[in-house]
Structure 1
């Protein structure tokens, strides 16, 4: 194991002129506002979204189911947790053997209010459900939740190598405000 530094952008969005609209959810998906009985589903969506991604090196808890559940508990137990900026997306699939509908968690976002800012935590969409506008929907809902909580700005951090996410955030109107570095122990890295 060795210490590696990951370059990340802090990206910011001004909520005072929020005009994201209400993106349309594709058929066979459902969008749910935060409820405390959904922590495991948020954790599953988070795990499936990040376990094979670079962010699992930056934040090792994202590579483990139990780590994602602990992270969800930690976020939702904070005094600055913003339930209105926390959303879950499920994909509705029909079980071929029983015909019943299975509801699989495939997208998640959480929000905190830190120093007058809305702070996006772990926007994630499972790889097989990307490029369907789900990330845009989650961000729009989180932004509306922050605005409803009286916050005027929101921010997030993203690893610079995650070009797909950076493009999504820029399309939505986020602006890069600074570069930060996150140190992490990574197997195979030289110290």
Structure 2
């Protein structure tokens, strides 16, 4: 028997009619633009970013390598995929973060799966990834961007608000969790 937990999420939006702040990367970090040959690398970084996070409960595909690979392929092969807003961030000891961009039916830019590998958090890399994706959307004429974030992810919510994103809708995602009495049974 499973129990259901509801996760509060915010849909946040930002008009792109203003000048974006300068992107500053720490020494030793660099951008890797989208290329189809990087699909598996994006998936691996996505897994490293989300596997032990609440979002892996909310979106189970983020909790496994296979799920992240399938999700990355699904994003890439959608007609709404925006390669100009899809980036990897390389650090001194390997890949540090990922973000993907999609268009919605109004041609707004959708930020997808922005993540920073745990050992690189606290360096404002999430902010840099977000700004790089927004810059990519601007290059293809997008004038409004949106994203969704789990409300308990305080650092992400704070970053988005500091850059001007505003909550426009509250969503609740129902997730079936195993009943505590059955965890580990049959494993």
Give the TM-score of the pair, scaled to structure 1.
0.89
Counterpart in 1 of 2:141? 150
User: 1:55, 1:159 within 8 Å by CA — same for their partners in 2?
Assistant: yes
1:177 maps onto 2:178 in alignment: no
Aligned partners of 1:46 and 1:54: how far apart in 2? 14
Tell me what 1:54 maps to. Answer: 54
**What residue number does 2:127 align with?**
136
Equivalenced residues, count: 179
Q: Distance in 2 between matches of 1:151 and 1:177?
A: 18
> What do the CA deviations read for 1:164-190 (whole angstroms, capped 9, x no partner)?
110010111111111011122222479
1:149-172 residue CA offsets vs partner (Å, 9 max, x unmatched)? 111100000011111110010111
Alpha-carbon shift at residue 92 of structure 1 (Å): 2.4
**Structure 2 residue aligned with 1:126:** 117
Structure 2 distance, partners of 1:189, 1:77, is 38
Matched, 1:110 2:111: no
Question: Any stretches of 5+ residues in structure 2 without a counterpart?
Answer: 182-187
Aligned-residue RMSD, C-alpha = 1.4
| Match of residue 184 from structure 2 | none
Q: Is the 8 A contact 1:4 1:189 kept in 2?
A: no
Could you list the runs of 4 or more consecutive aligned residues of structure 1 that deviate by over 3 angstroms after TM superposition?
none
Following superposition of structure 1 onto structure 2, how do residues 1-191 of structure 1 map, counting pairs within 5 Å?
A: 1-17=2-18, 19-93=19-93, 104-115=94-105, 116-188=107-179
Work out the CA distance in 2 between the residues paired with 1:152 and 1:162. Answer: 26
* Structure 1 unmatched runs, 5+: 94-103
Cα pair 1:86 1:109 within 8 Å, conserved = yes
Partners of 1:160 and 1:23 in 2: CA distance: 25
Distance (whole Å) between structure 2 residues aligned to residue 126 and residue 187 of structure 1: 27
CA distance in 1, matches of 2:180, 2:146: 30
SS at match of 1:16: coil
SS, match of residue 128 in structure 1: helix
